Structure 1
Amino acid sequence: MKIIRLLSSFCLITVMLTSAGALAASESSDPSIAKTYDGTYLVKLNSVTTPPNDVIEKLGGKLKKISESGDIVMAELSGSSLYELKNSPDVQYIEPNYEVKTEVEAEKIESVTETIPYGIQNIHAIEAQQEGYTGKGVKIAVLDSGYSQHSDVKVKSGYSFITNSENYDDDFGHGTHVAGIIAASMNGEGVVGVAPMADIYAIKVLDQGGRGSYFTLIEGIDWAIKHKMDIINISFGGENPSQILEEKIQEAYDAGILIIAAAGNDGYMGDDTILYPARYSTAIAVGAIDSSNKRAFFSAKGPDLDLVAPGVKVLSTLPSNQYGMKSGTSMAAPHVTGVAALILDKNKKLSPGEVADILESTAEPLGVVPEYGHGIVQAKEAVDQTAWK
């Protein structure tokens, strides 16, 4: 355990940089080469007493957005303004605002008679539901591309940090699929989710091209903290570490929120390919396996892998009331999120660390830790090991 530490298709997660490497506020730099650092940055302020606009613009930068917490801003900085700003007493540190992007395609199915997808069966979710645990009342923030109205999965509410509005319509299709894996209804049609009675909140942090940034991810986490979510599902990630993002993940964890994140789909690229934020100690990193419980060739590997779950040709909901299969650790993570919701349904008083301990101690081992973590998550076993509230 860490301390708890993308349709028949392959969901590929890539990361693009919007600017150069991270710069600490105390770091010095030659202003003659500062022009090479023009770009969009995350700025962590020392306090919120000085208006962020004053801090950024008095040194030639352009303030783009302020986080809910008020101490993190996104700003466009020229090389010269970056050089001045990073030495300001108002600034803790500055980092590039890395961009995350999901690339997916889908095999669509117009309609299906109610089907129990193989992933739901392989993790023994139906048995847990038959014991009366359905995720009822558990609040889950799905940070993704939004949600489109679907008869088979209900969403309580949400918000878009792409348009800064309550229109969180899924114009990419990824978020709707993830939501269905977690909580598709038992209604006689379509598919069944892991925790069909869980409360889903669609937080749109990816645009119509499946693109977002570390800042939109941070905004989504802030929303979840403010609205007292129980679980955050993050089915994407980035290759670059970020102290600002890590601190925000820690803040959510300290607020009692369990963070579950896709490990990434670059497992064929090396032996330590887990993405951020899944790699952080206060997030659960989830890899993907197929219907035979074999590791998917693309599933990220490394010592920080915590669990695996079905992530190959996973059937779930799509926009326009359709269904389709997707593959990727994006699909594996919501299986674990659903099981966590079943645990919290039985005992809402458990801390994120306690839920993670149950998930990991009841997982079925499948192989070596860098490829399978503690093994495949097991819903019935996890619920059975959970003490009554």
Structure 2
Amino acid sequence: MRKIGIIMNGVTGRMGTNQHLGRSIVAIRKQGGLRLRDQTTVMPEPVLLGRNEEKLQALAGAWGVDRWSTNLDACLADRENIIYFDAQLTQVRAESVHAALKAQKHVYCEKPLAATLQESLELAREAKKAGVKNGVVQDKLFLPGILKLKQVLASGLLGKVLSVRGEFGYWVFEGPVPPAQRPSWNYRKEEGGGIILDMFPHWQYVLANLFGQVKAVSCTARTTIPQRVDEAGKTYICTADDAAYATFELEGGAIAHINSSWVTRVNRDELLELHVDGTNGSAVAGLRECKVQPRVATPKAVWNPDIPNPIHFLDSWQTIPATITEENAFKVQWEMFLRHVLEDAPFPHTFLEAAKGVQLAEAGMRSWSERLWIDLPELALD
């Protein structure tokens, strides 16, 4: 059994606690560690890092973690800690990642990697110069529904993909009753909030990995709710976008349109759905499920608003069964990154890939501001 220290910075937040600590690192520990190719077993030993001693102590106790600290430099100086993970607010992430790279730690981060494309590329170049493993969370690729969609695409059942239509979002309450289910910083631009910066990095890697690189974007957005109530019960002014409506031109000619909204009420099976139309069939994928309609099973629809529609369209879709064990998407990618660090297994989700997500977010914001289509040039570190 080999033990490796993992510095986990910013995991007192909802996502860091639930997905990265509880359902990933603690889950790996509970399963007895991670078995490598050479049959040795690695046990991750997390060090919880943050600013609030009370929160850290309580979190460590709740999840059975022995080590926690408020001192980043001390954690980085410990040679047993070979990986640095960052789930802090976007606005403060870059400084800590720079320090971790300087200390020759392998670095894994939540997205977006940084608040700007320039900062993201600087981190990518620094990681390359340091010669350390680096990666960013791209969890949507490992969701059961997206994995099933990837299988469908690989089978050729859809033929040539023509278009992608995405719907994401739900109603986030303004508070105080019921309280908001997202943190207040999400709605403050000055703190790195906004649905474009939050969600466009997701759309970039989903579209690129399934359908083709994004070549251009047209976007408009809104700050729909002007005031909300924060965690302390105080009313604040919203300065960040809470809804974005974007069209993406993809490599290969397909068009994708995705609505992202925290001010919509859900009338679909899942909070995220992608509807993909191809020459030979169509597919609809959510977080967990995927349905298909091949050309031979496509009903012949006829426009006639004068009579009730005789076709029950939803009945002609076929559900894709699960063929592999469905695991937590964050845990799957954590295990991939650990294997990348420890046995040099492939890991394509690098800082450079993360920079592409920030590039798309910046292009979306610029398109909204200038009311223009924005082209996305290919990124390189040289």
Assess same fold via TM > 0.5.
no
Give the TM-score taking structure 2 as reference length: 0.30
- Relative to the length of structure 1, the TM-score reads 0.30
Rg larger in 1 or in 2?
A: 2
Structure holding more helix per residue: 2
